[in-house]
Structures are given as structure tokens and as C-alpha cells.
Structure 1
Amino acid sequence: MNPDLPRRRFTGGDLNGVLGLVVDNLSILAFLATALVGLFGVPADIVFRRMFPGTALGVLLGNLAYTWMAHRLATRTGRDTVTAMPLGLDAPTSIGMALLVLGPAFAGYRQAGMDATAAGEATWRLGMASLVVMGVLKVVLSFFGGWVQRSVPRAGLLGSIAGIALMLMGFLPLVEIMRVPVVGFAGLGIVLYALVAKRRLPFGLPGVLGAFLVGVLLYYGLGPAGLLGTGYHAPGPWQWRFGIPWPTLHFVDGLAATVPYLPLILPFGLLMVVGGINVTESARAAGDDYRTRDILLVEALATLVAGFCGGVAQTTPYIGQPAYKAMGARLGYTLVTGLVIGLGGVLGYLSNLVEWLPVAVLAPILIFVSIGITTQAFEATPVRYAGAVVFSFFPAIARMLAIKLGDPSIVEPARFAALYADGVHGVSAMAVISILGNGFIITSMVWASFVVAMIDGHVRKAAGIVALGGALTAFGVIHSVDPIGTVYLPWMLDAGARAMVWQFVAAYAALAAVLLMLSLTPRRR
């Protein structure tokens, strides 16, 4: 074996890898903080001192483990071209946790009469418990990844996550960009130029870094002069917000609060298992043969430990391992990224970076990721299933509308409740939007799966999937008639809510019956 092999595992390409991976994680943390602190009013100290340290610890541990796995693979194969698997916070589910679980929960606690600090603490415990639930699920499923991948059609898996990416990770950050359009649109243009059009920036500058630098220069160059209007906010003083992510049992207090959110939390974990399988195959195709179970198990344990230590956002292996390999990254970039993010959560400098970097600067990166995820849903799925992928987007669109319409700054709560209950001709439009969006990830999987079954000619299987959808509807796992999406026992609801439940259950039953009758006819294209 070459004695110089370990020294050559750190290359100049690792610098590009660090820039890309750190900025990716930083942008997700920034959006998480902006959503919780800026949109919902969660106290900043709880976000930065309680949630960030444990969340960052998961990134640190996962990247250290992946670095060691790459070192082991390089030693075993005698190659100095092995690239570590990149790991970071998962963008769609992290944003989904902020907008669909933590933020609404905090608003509910406040409406129940809690003060901001108590509501923030309860929200933090809910986030911890949610992460522990996802971590346990992923640990179990890491041993059954192949079965999971075979059971749910790729159109359903990729379509559901693409819906999250397109609506929550693409459209909502685009709205934030257009709040400060001079800054955000310029950065978005550079991201599209370098990463979508694949054009070279001057001096070979990486696209993410180029967009980042231009955004910062515009924001701090034009903002103090008053040229950005109300879009500029001067940064506050530097603060050392120390937070040690000690293991704690506070998550136990939040377990009961996770029940209404299980239709979101469990699919979030499931998607990461399937995503981990896909990225391992991608790395294998690029020449680095990692064991799928090891990749999944390490990531699951990183999420679980983060939850025990106060984290609220799950980690995931990133799909871009071949891209990092092409830019010359080896082992150093994951090691350095883990240390930068992990120590930043403990020492508190991540919170300062998040506060000093506006969403308009970081959002273009999220939009690019959303474009990539949505594009992959079509590229990785056979063309004949494209209609199923598109059909799976509709519940996510409904969820995005429900988020906006449920924002008290847009529609007053009393007005929302009146519109929800005002069903002149059946169920009101507001109720339909809310009900269609509740449990949207599982709904997307069900809808895409039965369309795929029909395309393949398995009409009876499609009927069975639709019947399963009806059973899930009866208990509020999907199409919950509660505006906040809680699950329930239908016979415990009041008469009006129970009537709405049975209408949607009957809709699935009718469709299942129609499909069963169609399955008796001769098969024709």
C-alpha cells in the first residue's frame, strides 16, 4: 500500500466541498430560524441556545462517521480518490418541520394562554420528541430499506418529496426573495447561471459561493444607503450564545404532543430512508461502493442522538456525492464541515451568521435545491409515470395555500373559521383546501401509487390502494377535518365534522368500487 495515501486524501477540491456543504447547511438553519423567530415569534434564545446545538451535533457526528467510513474504504481498496458521503440537514423536511409542526404548535400554545417562553419550551420539547420518533423509525427501517423501496412506487416517493420541495422549499423562499428583489433576484440569477445552465463563473468561482458573495455585497452595500427600502435590517451586535447539547429526557414530555403530527413526522423519516438508498446507489455508480445499511444506520443514529440532545431537524446523506467527487473533494470536506457546523452550534457563532445573513441572500440556494429535487422526480421516474408524479403535487399545493390562508397576518382567525364553516353547497372551499392539505405527504404517496398501478394495468391493486386511502381518511391520517390536521376516532367527533369525514371516506369507497368494476372489463389500452 502507498505510504503517502493518507496524506493525499486531503486535496484542494476539499475547499470547494466545504464551501458548498457549509453554505447548504447554513441556509437551512437560516430559514429554520427565520420561520420560527420571524414568522411565528418563537423566542430567539430558545431557537439558538436550545434547538441549534443539538441540531448541529447531528451534522457533526454524521459527517465524522462518514469521514471515517471513507477512510476505511480508501484503506481497504488502496485508492486515494475515495470521496466521503456528504451529510447535512435535510432541506424539505427541515422546512416542513418549521412551517408545519413547530411553528403551528407554538401558535397553538400561545392561543392556549401560555407566555412566549413557556410556549417556546413546549415547542422545543415537541421538536425533540419528533426527531426521536423519526430517528427510531429510521433505525428500524435501515434494516428493511430494500423492502420499503419496493413497496412504494418511485413516483409516489419522489413525487411526494418533490411536492414539498416545489411548494415549501421553492415557492415560499421565492416570496422571501421578492421582498428584497434587488438582492435575491441577482443571487438567484447567478445560481441558475452556474448550477442550472452549468456556465463557468469568473475565476472558476463555485456557483453557491458566487451567489452568496454577490448577495452579501448588494445587501450591505445598498442597504445602509437606504436603497433597499424597508428590506434592509442592520445586524445586531455579536453574541456568544453558548449551548452545550447535553443528552436530556425532556423529549419524553413532548411525545404526547407528537400524535397529531404523526402523519407528517413518520413520512419525513420514511423519505430519508429511501433517499439514503438512492444516494448510496449514486455514490456506487461514481465508484465509491459504500454499504447501504451502514449509510442508513449512521444517518439514523445521528438523527436519534440529535433528538436526545435537543435537536429539531433531521440529517440526511446528500444526493451530490458524485458532484463533490468531480470537484476533487475527498475526505477533508466532510470532516471540516462537521466541525464548523457542530462547533458553531455549541459556541453560538452559527446564530450570528444566521442573523447577519438575510434570507434573500440564502434563499436562492434553497430554490436551486428545490429545482433539482423536482427535476429528479421526473428524471428518475419512467416517462409513463410522469402523470402520476404531477398528480401527487396537488396535495402539496393545497398545503401551501392552507399555510398562507391560515397566517393571521393574511386572514384573521375569526374570518378563517367563518369561511371554513360556510359550506353553502357542500364542503366550503376553505375547508376543502385545508382538508386536502392535511397529511399531504401520505396523500401524495397514495394518489401516485394508485395511478401507477392503473398505468401498469393492475386495476385491482389500484382499487386496494384507494381503499387504504379511505381507511386512512376515516381516522384523519390524511384529509383530517380538523384545521390543524390532528388524527382522531371518527365516532368521537361532533355531528358536523363526522359528516365531512364520511363524505371523504365515501369518495374513496366509490372510486374503489368503480375501479373494481373496471377490473372486470377486458384489458385494453
Structure 2
Amino acid sequence: MSTTTTAATGRERYWVPGDWNAFFGFGTNILVNVLVLTGLLRFVLKMPDSLVFGRILPALGLMLFLSTVYYAWLAYRLAQKTGRTDVCALPSGTSVPHMFVVTFVVMLPILLRTNDPIQAWEAGLTWVFVQSFVLMAGGFIAPVIRRITPRAALLGSLAGISITFISMRPGLLVFETPLIGLVCFAIILANWFGGVRYFQDVPGGLIAIAAGTLIAWGSNLFGLGYGGLSVGSVGDAFSHFGFSFPIPAVGHVFSGFKFIGVILVTAIPFGIYDLVEAMDNVESAAAAGDSFPTTQVLTADGVISLIGCLLGNPFINAVYIGHPGWKAMGGRIGYSAATGVMVLVLTWLGIVALVSSLIPVVAILPILLYIGMLIGSQAFQETPRSHAPAIILAMIPQIAAWGKTMIDGALGAAGTNAATVGFDKLGNTGVLYKGLATLGGGATLAGIILGAVTVFIIERQLEKAAWFALAGSILTFFGLIHAEDLGVGQSPLVALSYLGIAVMLYCFARFAHVSPAAIESHGHGGMSEQPAE
């Protein structure tokens, strides 16, 4: 083993050339999310710029700094322990699904009820406060769940997220502005998949962003206006310059408890969602060769989110999907910490507004599409071929949840909703809204249950399949999956169906003759001794 592999110090340990690619890729990913949530705060929730740029973004920046530096440290420890130089830090940042949930499900209703953006902000802080403790408590049971759950179920549910909530929106926006989006996407694919090297090995992500920015500003010269940029918006952005340090917001956190009824409806189930998603992402990293302690990861998410909310940030921290992508790109330890420093500078100095006025978002989105492609494919590449049907089934609840989100958004834009239009009318046009709502409820957890049952059936381990079906029945009965709200008896027929499946599979395991499983290899269809997971 080489010296650079075993040494506890050395430049390679902290930064390698591939970290530049991962830094520009992951850094722009984080930047996109910061720009989006800034827009939500300013234009949806109508929060004053003094609150957004003076309190929320500085607190958010500190949270992201603590998160990225902590996961860089975990990667450094793993590299020291194993003597490897290819360890890649877990990516982390603001939870994107929850960014929209806390905005539209928690803060916006409070704003409409009170006409006070400060009270809406306080409700968001309390929501994160509750979720933080759910994550910290769940960190101690997640390793057990990860140990007994098949990898195909975990990665399959994750693949569903990668196709829908990670890839679809960037893909649609790329094709809405193809002159920028498709060119940037091709630059990224040629570099990260095709091995094309650009001038002086400049990272492909940076080349793509630069090209997209040049096209956007160049189009303005001809009056085309691609990318939505203008000189006026750049001038306005300079007014937000200035140093802002996060200050405690404990009083605001506890003021939000007067809305605890609205908050608990989503905080607990989405806290469990975070728990499962983080567990999925740790499993994804393990499949790529980097095994991190699940309990430490989950409790860190909870503690860091708690610090952020106590300083005024109403968005929760999460381990991101995408570790294999950043690792394949060459990222190791340094890219994570460098991203934390970058976001700290951007948020504390008020530079976010300027960046958003200079760079077209569509130039950044192809990077997210690339990550979605990589994670979706990992589910099939890192599991036995025979488990492919289970992966497909694990993906379907996420597709249902995404479809329901699209329908709700379209009807909301028209000033109505599914109940007002009528479920029968929607059904007559092929839109099975109730089915989407039921199948997509608690989609991440539902996908894991369905995927696990299918894997164990494929492996002829019917008793284990029965136990997962029983778990599905219990989770459904309490509204954690296949339901839109937490509560007792939310989807009783679905819960009863899972229970019936559990009984049937248990009886098959005990009394039926079951032929042995035909175990396939990962290769070209040959047979091998591939153990069941």
C-alpha cells in the first residue's frame, strides 16, 4: 500500500483535483437551492428583505457550513481508519422537498390567516424545532432498519425520488430554455460521462455555467432575453451588500408553538421521511464504497437543524442524495468543506442577490439532472439483477406522489382543487386522483415496504416478506404511508389488505411447498452464489 494511502496527513487527504469538479457541481447545487428558497421567502411569503437577508440567510449559511464541514470531518475519519484516499464526503444541505412543504403547507397558511410574515416565519421555526428532535431520536433505530431492509428496497425508493423530484423539474426547465439548457447539459455529459477534458482541465460544471451565462447575456444584446437576466436586476442586487451575522431567535421559535396543531400534522411524518431518506442516502454511499455510521449521520442532521432554527432558519438540514455522483466526479473530502465556506461567504455578505441576478438558473439545472440520472441507475447497478422488479415497484409511490403534486399545482393555479372538480369527473378523464393520493402517501417509506416485500418473495424468504407486509399494515393504519394525514385508521382498507398479505405469506412460508430461488449474478446472465440481502 502506498504512502499516500496510509498517511494520516498529506494534501491528497484534504483536496484532490477531482474536488474541483465536485465543488463546482455540488456548490452550484447548493447555490440553486439557496436561490430558490430566497425567492420563496421574498415573493411567496412576502417577507421583508431585512428579515430574509439580515436574519434567515445568515442562519441558513451557518447551518450549511456546520453540516458540510461535519461531513467532511466524518469522511476524513473514515479515510484515516481505512487508509484509503478515495473516500468521498456525504453531500448535505437544505432538504429540498421540505423547503416547499414548510413554505406552502406551514408558513403560507399562517401568513394568509394572520397577514403577518413574522408569525409565518415563527411557525416555520417551530416546525424545524419539532423535526429536529424526531431526527435525533430516530438516529438510534435507523441502523437496525437499514440492517434488515434489502438494498434494492432502499435504493429503489431513492431512484423514484431521483426520477421525479430531482430530475423532472430540471429536465422540463432545460427543454423550456433549450438554447442554454441543452448546451450546458451536453457540456456536462461530455466531461463527466464522455471523458472530454476542457482547457487546462477546467471543471465541466464551471464551463457549463460560464457558457450558459454568456448565452443568456449575449441573447440580451439581440433582444431575445434568454435566461431572464437584466442590467436593472444587477443594480438592485448591490443594495443587499453588507455583513450580517446570525443572532438567536429562541423567542421566535417558542412563539410559533401557538400554531402547534398545524405544525404537528406535517412535522412528525416528514421527520420520519427525513429519517428514512437519510438512511437511504447512507445506504447509497455504502453501495459506492463509503460506509458511514448511520446514527451519527442522523443525529447530526437533527442537531445542526436545531442550531439553525434557534438562530432563525426555517429550513431543515438533510444528507443529500448524490454521493455516488460526486464520488464518480472525483470528489473526496475537500469539496464538502469548500462548499460550506462558499455558502457562508455568500449569505453573510449579502452576495446571494447579486449571484441570482448574474447567472441564469437554467445553466445550473443540468447538474441536478445528471445527479438524478446517476442515482436512478445505481439502484440497478448495485443490486442483484433478479431484484430489478422490486426496484421498479419501489419507485412507483414516488411517481404517484409527483403526479398528484402536478395535478394539485395545476388545479390550484386555476383557483380550484380536486374535491371541487369532483373525483368522478377526474376519473372519467383518466386521472385517478384518489389512487395517486393513496399510493403516493408517505412515498419514500411506502416504496421501501413494497420493495422489501417483493425482494423477499423473489428470494423465497416468505416469512421475512410477511413481516414487512405486517409493518406496512401498521404504518398504513397510523397514516404514515398511503395516507395524506397522520392519524388512526386513515386508510383502513389498505391496512387490512397489507395484513391479509402478511397472513397469506406467513402461511405459505410455513405450509406451502416453495421452489428454491434462481439466483442471478450482476454480470451477463450467468448463475452465481449471490447471497440474498
Asked if 1:89 is matched to 2:88, the reply is no
What is the alpha-carbon distance in structure 2 between the residues aligned to residue 231 and residue 322 of structure 1? 29
Listed one character per residue, the Cα deviations across residues 282-325 of structure 1 (whole Å, up to 9, x for unaligned) are: 5658xxxx877666655553333223323313143786489669
Q: 2:128·2:306 contact (CA, 8 Å) conserved in 1? A: yes
Q: Quote the sequence identity (%).
A: 21
What is the alpha-carbon distance in structure 2 between the residues aligned to residue 293 and residue 65 of structure 1? 14
Instruction: Give SS of 2:319's match.
Output: strand
Asked if 1:502 is matched to 2:504, the reply is no
What is the alpha-carbon distance in structure 2 between the residues aligned to residue 409 and residue 223 of structure 1? 34
Structure 2 partner of 1:187: 184
> What is the correspondence of 1:442-521 to structure 2 with a 5 Å cutoff?
442-480=445-483, 485-490=484-489, 501-516=491-506, 518-519=508-509, 520-521=511-512
What is the alpha-carbon distance in structure 1 between the residues aligned to residue 361 and residue 136 of structure 2? 33
Structure 2 partner of 1:214: 211
Listed one character per residue, the Cα deviations across residues 377-428 of structure 1 (whole Å, up to 9, x for unaligned) are: 2222222222111111111111111111111566534352234543798998
What is the alpha-carbon distance in structure 1 between the residues aligned to residue 278 and residue 81 of structure 2? 28
Q: 2:154·2:283 contact (CA, 8 Å) conserved in 1? A: no
Structure 2 partner of 1:361: 363
**Which amino acid in structure 1 is aligned with residue 264 of structure 2?**
V
Asked if 1:227 is matched to 2:231, the reply is no
What is the alpha-carbon distance in structure 2 between the residues aligned to residue 159 and residue 392 of structure 1? 5
Listed one character per residue, the Cα deviations across residues 59-107 of structure 1 (whole Å, up to 9, x for unaligned) are: 2123444556677788x789996877364316xxx22113344223344
Instruction: Give SS of 1:89's match.
Output: strand
Q: 1:8·1:80 contact (CA, 8 Å) conserved in 2? A: no
* CA distance 1:409–1:248, shift in 2 (3 Å): same
What is the alpha-carbon distance in structure 2 between the residues aligned to residue 4 and residue 502 of structure 1? 56
Q: 1:280·1:292 contact (CA, 8 Å) conserved in 2? A: no
Greater mean alpha carbon deviation, residues 231-240 or residues 322-331? 322-331
What is the alpha-carbon distance in structure 1 between the residues aligned to residue 247 and residue 264 of structure 2? 25
Q: 1:51·1:310 contact (CA, 8 Å) conserved in 2? A: yes
Structure 1 partner of 2:377: 375
* CA distance 1:514–1:86, shift in 2 (3 Å): closer
Structure 2 partner of 1:28: 33
What is the deviation of 1:263?
2.4
Structure 2 partner of 1:264: 270
Q: 1:86·1:321 contact (CA, 8 Å) conserved in 2? A: no
What is the alpha-carbon distance in structure 2 between the residues aligned to residue 326 and residue 195 of structure 1? 6
What is the deviation of 1:448?
1.1
**Which amino acid in structure 2 is aligned with residue 433 of structure 1?**
L
What is the deviation of 1:36?
5.8
What is the alpha-carbon distance in structure 1 between the residues aligned to residue 62 and residue 460 of structure 2? 48
* CA distance 1:361–1:466, shift in 2 (3 Å): same
What is the alpha-carbon distance in structure 2 between the residues aligned to residue 188 and residue 448 of structure 1? 32
Instruction: Give SS of 1:366's match.
Output: helix
What is the deviation of 1:222?
0.8
What is the alpha-carbon distance in structure 1 between the residues aligned to residue 496 and residue 140 of structure 2? 37
What is the deviation of 1:113?
3.4
Greater mean alpha carbon deviation, residues 317-326 or residues 137-146? 317-326
* CA distance 1:301–1:278, shift in 2 (3 Å): farther
Asked if 1:407 is matched to 2:409, the reply is yes
Q: 1:389·1:448 contact (CA, 8 Å) conserved in 2? A: yes
Structure 2 partner of 1:204: 201
* CA distance 1:474–1:15, shift in 2 (3 Å): closer
> What is the correspondence of 1:342-361 to structure 2 with a 5 Å cutoff?
342-361=344-363
Instruction: Give SS of 1:381's match.
Output: coil
* CA distance 1:322–1:396, shift in 2 (3 Å): closer
* CA distance 1:419–1:153, shift in 2 (3 Å): farther
Q: 1:473·1:504 contact (CA, 8 Å) conserved in 2? A: yes
Asked if 1:432 is matched to 2:467, the reply is no
What is the deviation of 1:216?
1.0
Give 1:164's match in structure 2, choosing from 161, 164, 173. Answer: 161
Q: 1:299·1:317 contact (CA, 8 Å) conserved in 2? A: no
What is the alpha-carbon distance in structure 1 between the residues aligned to residue 201 and residue 98 of structure 2? 36
Q: 2:22·2:329 contact (CA, 8 Å) conserved in 1? A: no
What is the alpha-carbon distance in structure 1 between the residues aligned to residue 461 and residue 301 of structure 2? 36
TM-score, length basis structure 2 = 0.79
* CA distance 1:82–1:524, shift in 2 (3 Å): closer
Asked if 1:58 is matched to 2:63, the reply is yes
* CA distance 1:175–1:103, shift in 2 (3 Å): farther
* CA distance 1:78–1:157, shift in 2 (3 Å): closer
Structure 2 partner of 1:493: none
Q: Which runs of 5+ in 1 are unaligned?
A: 491-497
Q: 2:394·2:451 contact (CA, 8 Å) conserved in 1? A: yes
Greater mean alpha carbon deviation, residues 25-34 or residues 426-435? 426-435
Q: CA RMSD in A?
A: 4.0
Alignment length (residue pairs):
498
Structure 2 partner of 1:124: 121
What is the alpha-carbon distance in structure 1 between the residues aligned to residue 482 and residue 331 of structure 2? 47
**Which amino acid in structure 2 is aligned with residue 30 of structure 1?**
L
Asked if 1:441 is matched to 2:444, the reply is yes
**Which amino acid in structure 2 is aligned with residue 457 of structure 1?**
R
Listed one character per residue, the Cα deviations across residues 432-465 of structure 1 (whole Å, up to 9, x for unaligned) are: 2223222212211211121122122232332332
Instruction: Give SS of 2:113's match.
Output: coil
Structure 1 partner of 2:309: 307
Q: 2:393·2:451 contact (CA, 8 Å) conserved in 1? A: yes
* CA distance 1:246–1:518, shift in 2 (3 Å): same
Q: 2:167·2:368 contact (CA, 8 Å) conserved in 1? A: yes
Q: 2:89·2:332 contact (CA, 8 Å) conserved in 1? A: no
**Which amino acid in structure 1 is aligned with residue 143 of structure 2?**
G
Q: 2:24·2:206 contact (CA, 8 Å) conserved in 1? A: yes
What is the alpha-carbon distance in structure 1 between the residues aligned to residue 48 and residue 154 of structure 2? 35
Greater mean alpha carbon deviation, residues 9-18 or residues 355-364? 9-18
Q: 2:26·2:326 contact (CA, 8 Å) conserved in 1? A: no
What is the deviation of 1:171?
0.2
Structure 2 partner of 1:494: none
Q: Which runs of 5+ in 2 are unaligned?
A: 517-533
What is the deviation of 1:142?
4.5
**Which amino acid in structure 2 is aligned with residue 104 of structure 1?**
V
> What is the correspondence of 1:42-57 to structure 2 with a 5 Å cutoff?
43=47, 45=49, 47-57=52-62
Q: 2:476·2:494 contact (CA, 8 Å) conserved in 1? A: yes
